[in-house]
Structure 1
Amino acid sequence: MKSTTAPTTTARKLPAGPERQAFLLLRTVFTVAPIIFGLDKFTNLLTDWTMYLAPVVTSTVPMPAQTIMYIVGVVEIVAGLAVALRPRFGSLLVVVWLLGIIVNLLLLGNFFDVALRDFGLLVGALALNRLSPKWAR
C-alpha cells in the first residue's frame, strides 16, 4: 500500500481583515473609474466634458477644448493603470490629477459641488496611498 502525502504549498495567505478590504475597494475604484472616465473623454457619452474646462486653460494651451480632453483622457487611463500596477505611485498620481481638476473647477467659478466631490475622492486616493505599503505586494 502506497502512502501519498498532499503537496505542500508555500503560498502566503493574505489576511482578509478590514484594512485589506479597504485597500482592495480603493484600489479597484481608483483603477476602474479613471479608466472609464478617460475612455469617455473620447466619446462624451456621460457628458460634454469640455464644459468643465476653464477658459484660462484653452487660452493658455493653443488647442481646441476637445483635443485637450483627449489628452486628459489619456492621462486618466494611465492613472488608472498606474493604480492597478503600482498603487502607491498611482494613488499619488491620482491625488495630483484630482487637485488639478479641483483648481480648474474653482477657476471656472462653477461646479463647486463637483469640486467638493473631487476633494472627497482626493482624500480617498490619499487613504489608498497610506494603505499601499502594507498591502500592495
Structure 2
Amino acid sequence: MNSNVQLVKNILKYTFGLVPIVAGLDKFTNILTQWTQYISDGFAAMLPFEPTTFMMIVGIIEIVAGFLVLTRTKLGAYVVSAWLVAIALTLIFSWTYVDVAVRDLVMAIAAFSLAKLAEEKSKTA
C-alpha cells in the first residue's frame, strides 16, 4: 500500500478509534457537554428510563465501537459509520442540532472511507 494511503488509513483509524472512546467515556462525566441536550423531548418521553441512563448506554456502544476500530478496523469502521448516520438521522428527524447532523454525516463518510481502505488491505494480504 502506498505510504500516503497508509498514513491516511492510520490517521483515520486512530481518529475513529479514540474519539468514540473519549466521547463514550464522557457520557458518564459530561465534561465535554451535557449529552442529554441532544435527546429530543419526544424521544425522551418514549424512553423507559431517564435520558441520562440512555446516554450511558450510548456511551458503552461508542466505547465498544472505538475499540472495534482499533482492533478490527474494517468491521469497526463500518459500525462507526452506521452509528454516525443513525445519530444524524435522529437529529434531522427531530430537526434539532442539524449542524451537528451534517457534521456527523461527513464523519460517517470518512469512517466508511476507512472501512474501504481496510477492505483493500485485506484483499492484498
TM-score normalised by L of structure 1: 0.84
Correspondence for 1:92 among 78, 88, 96: 78
Within 1, Cα distance between the matches of 2:103 and 2:120? 27
Correspondence for 2:34 among 43, 48, 53: 48
How many residue pairs get aligned? The number is 123
Report the counterpart of residue 69 of structure 2 in structure 1: 83
- Work out whether residues 24 and 63 of structure 2, in 8 Å CA contact, stay in contact via their aligned partners in 1: yes
The yes-or-no answer on 1:72 pairing with 2:72 is no
Identity %: 35
Deviation at 1:16, TM superposition (A): 6.0
Aligned CA-pair RMSD:
1.5
Correspondence for 2:98 among 95, 112, 118: 112
Correspondence for 2:5 among 2, 19, 24: 19
Within 2, Cα distance between the matches of 1:50 and 1:16? 43
- Give the 3-state SS of the residue equivalent to 2:28 in structure 1: coil
Q: Larger helix proportion, structure 1 or 2?
A: 2
Within 2, Cα distance between the matches of 1:54 and 1:91? 27
- Give the 3-state SS of the residue equivalent to 1:42 in structure 2: coil
Report the counterpart of residue 124 of structure 1 in structure 2: 110
* Runs of 4+ more than 4 Å apart: none
- The letter of the residue matching 1:53 is I
Deviation at 1:17, TM superposition (A): 1.1
Q: 5+ residue gaps in structure 2? A: none
- Work out whether residues 55 and 108 of structure 1, in 8 Å CA contact, stay in contact via their aligned partners in 2: no
Per-residue CA deviation, residues 38-92 of structure 1 (Å, 9 max, x unaligned), is 0000000011000001233323321110000000000000000000010110011
